[in-house]
Structure 1
């Protein structure tokens, strides 16, 4: 039976009472798509539960309720009210992810509240924080992301580096220095995000890094090719043509990727 044929009540019953989490996000997604008042009110009711799992379900449904977004101001008000007293790390991280889906009009006070979680001991909370402030091109969020690019957790570093490298337009010495600090990160995704961020800013010193990365590119190097496109230096036309010849022998990367980047530079 397709989920679209499930009543709202049945969807909530399944997500609240199923022992398995197998279809958890499918149920959440279906509830989010519907714009009915009873789903909205039920979700708000769940956020008031004393049981964390139920509270999180309400938070998750509200995060992307309705298409386009409905009741955004009211939802944010609920989230920030919860943050005042909540201690459960899983609930806090869910709230932060929810804020991330609705962060286009956060006030300075709300931004300060969110950024206050930057030193939280839970990696899930810190990761949720990155999501909450991603794309906010203001001093406080940028400084918070800069701190999180140095986080001990590689996923947090990766997303924070992605945040300042790709998701904002600001460009200054501190941002570039932060990206350069991640160029040799042990996590490859973080390293690639730093390279892309510098290529986007046309940092002349990233050119040699891009050359070296192109020489050793493999099946995981699509972001390097995107960075080369962003850097848009015609010298890479010849380098790509040479790499295409080498790749015909070693077959380390999808040839179509190389050809697409070559075409975009010509």
Structure 2
């Protein structure tokens, strides 16, 4: 049970103070932010807007963190929140604050921020570009896709990862040669998660370059769920014996992996 002044029982001012404690990933701080999200009141909005004008970068960042999901999925104060976050992007210099603003705009799916987010995509700081990737990955606009294509080859691992996820999965309905080529380029990435995101994106689009890559992934020492999902999307019969071999080999695997494996095998056997 929450004590007075904490959690669901705390005042907006008390929750704001909790949100400013600890480091950026402090769980107690994020509990307070999530409570503010659920409240979604004018009082919370005004408090977050005030934070955006603070001299402290941490306060400005927390203001953006609060605005992004204010109302927890509802559209409360949408216009005001979007305008405030776009204004923050135009004037902010601190990369960590720009990250929070980009993520918040992505959570809002704010198409009005397209120009600001495209500008952010070329920022010299990786944190800022990561924020741009979040904001752009949910926008249905050719210019957003083009910016994500550029970010998918970024020198920073996290930027590449989110941009590749955005192209491969979040923008699944878009299918162009240039987008496919960007995903194919990531099949050689040094990071296995990025390779997996690219593989699923190509397989979903039935790109033939994914077939041999899936075979190789299913034969690998460590098979990831990405490879299973890509195999299911392509439906190539040559994958079936490889999937059976994975199941028969046993070994250490979590329940989710085994569940997906059985579902994919069943798909092949029913097809």
What TM-score does the superposition give when structure 1 sets the normalisation length?
0.90
Is the contact made by 1:114 and 1:132 (CA closer than 8 Å) also made in structure 2?
A: yes
Q: How many residues matched?
A: 258
After the TM superposition, which of the residue ranges 147-156 and 7-16 deviates more from structure 2? 7-16
Q: How far 1:98 sits from its partner (Å)? A: 0.9
Give the corresponding residue for 1:201.
205
Give the corresponding residue for 2:87.
81
* Deviation per residue, 1:97-124 (Å, 9 max, x gap): 1111112x513xx312210122211111
Give the corresponding residue for 1:259.
262
| Distance in 2 (alpha carbons) for counterparts of 1:91 and 1:243 | 45
Q: How far 1:257 sits from its partner (Å)? A: 3.6
Q: How far 1:38 sits from its partner (Å)? A: 1.3
Is the contact made by 2:22 and 2:29 (CA closer than 8 Å) also made in structure 1?
A: no
Q: How far 1:239 sits from its partner (Å)? A: 2.9
Give the corresponding residue for 1:192.
196
Give the corresponding residue for 1:117.
120
Cα separation, partners in 2 of 1:256 and 1:32, compared to 1, 3 Å? closer
Cα separation, partners in 2 of 1:13 and 1:204, compared to 1, 3 Å? closer
| Distance in 2 (alpha carbons) for counterparts of 1:173 and 1:38 | 48
| Distance in 1 (alpha carbons) for counterparts of 2:17 and 2:170 | 38
What TM-score does the superposition give when structure 2 sets the normalisation length?
0.88
| Distance in 1 (alpha carbons) for counterparts of 2:27 and 2:170 | 32
Residue pairs, 1:104-183, within 5 angstroms: 105-107=110-112, 110-168=113-171, 169-183=173-187
Give the corresponding residue for 2:51.
46
Cα separation, partners in 2 of 1:253 and 1:22, compared to 1, 3 Å? closer
Is the contact made by 2:69 and 2:107 (CA closer than 8 Å) also made in structure 1?
A: yes
- Match among 236, 239, 249 for residue 236 of structure 1: 239
- Structure 1 unaligned regions, length at least 5: none
Find the residue that maps to 2:263 and give its secondary structure: helix
Is the contact made by 1:217 and 1:252 (CA closer than 8 Å) also made in structure 2?
A: no
Find the residue that maps to 2:108 and give its secondary structure: coil
- Match among 227, 243, 251 for residue 230 of structure 2: 227
* Deviation per residue, 1:209-256 (Å, 9 max, x gap): 1111111153x60111111111123442333223322x13xx154544
Give the corresponding residue for 1:210.
214
Cα separation, partners in 2 of 1:19 and 1:253, compared to 1, 3 Å? closer
